[in-house]
Amino acid sequence: MRNVQAWLSARAENVAAMLLAALFGVFIVQIVSRYVFNHPVGWALEVCLTLWLWLVLWGGAFCLDDKDHVRFDILLEAARPRVRRLFALVSAIAIVAGLLAALPATYDYVSFYKIKKSATLRIRLDVVFSVYLIFAVAVIGRYAWRALAIMRAGSAGSGDGGNESSAS
């Protein structure tokens, strides 16, 4: 199971790296066309914005660990381990419940955009924003798994604010 998880994680990071490379390439094209040839290309901004959206949400869903996210953990660090596990469980359940509750409306909103297209490249906007649905489902799965692990083992696992340092 760990080998499959490691392989999937590596492939997700490959996708993120390709998105970043494409973003950088289009950004360089935009700079060269504007400042070297004095002929800006309109599509470059649209592609950069779309790639950035996909990169941030893809990375947040599949490439970042819990410890990589910004957290305000003053109360967590002051609590005993049992209370930390309770905080981790409650927060995992809240994230799952909130995203699950929003999922039908989110799907409706994204699918509504099939009637609209981007300004320059005429890409359907439901395709552009579909990455949020991928993000939401991945985060629901990740935090549901985490909540189950906490309930089964009595440990918050990665990111419970135990001995690791987290961003504050």
Dihedral sign, Cα of residue 106, residue 107, residue 113, residue 119: positive
Tokens representing residue 161 in the block: 């604010």
pTM over 0.85: no
Residue with tokens 């340092």: 165
Higher per-residue confidence, 72 vs 92: 92
Per-residue pLDDT tens for 31-61? 999 999 999 998 999 999 999 999 999 999 9
Tokens representing residue 138 in the block: 């991945």
Distance CA 64, CA 108 (A): 27
Distance CA 31, CA 44 (A): 9
Per-residue pLDDT tens for 101-152? 999 999 999 999 999 999 999 999 999 999 999 999 999 999 999 999 999 9
Domain ranges of the chain: 1-64, 66-168
User: Cα 63–70–148 angle (5° rounding)?
Assistant: 65
pLDDT for position 112: 95
How large a percentage of the chain has pLDDT more than 70?
91
Distance CA 85, CA 74 (A): 15
Distance CA 43, CA 49 (A): 10
CA 138 to centroid of chain Cα atoms? 8
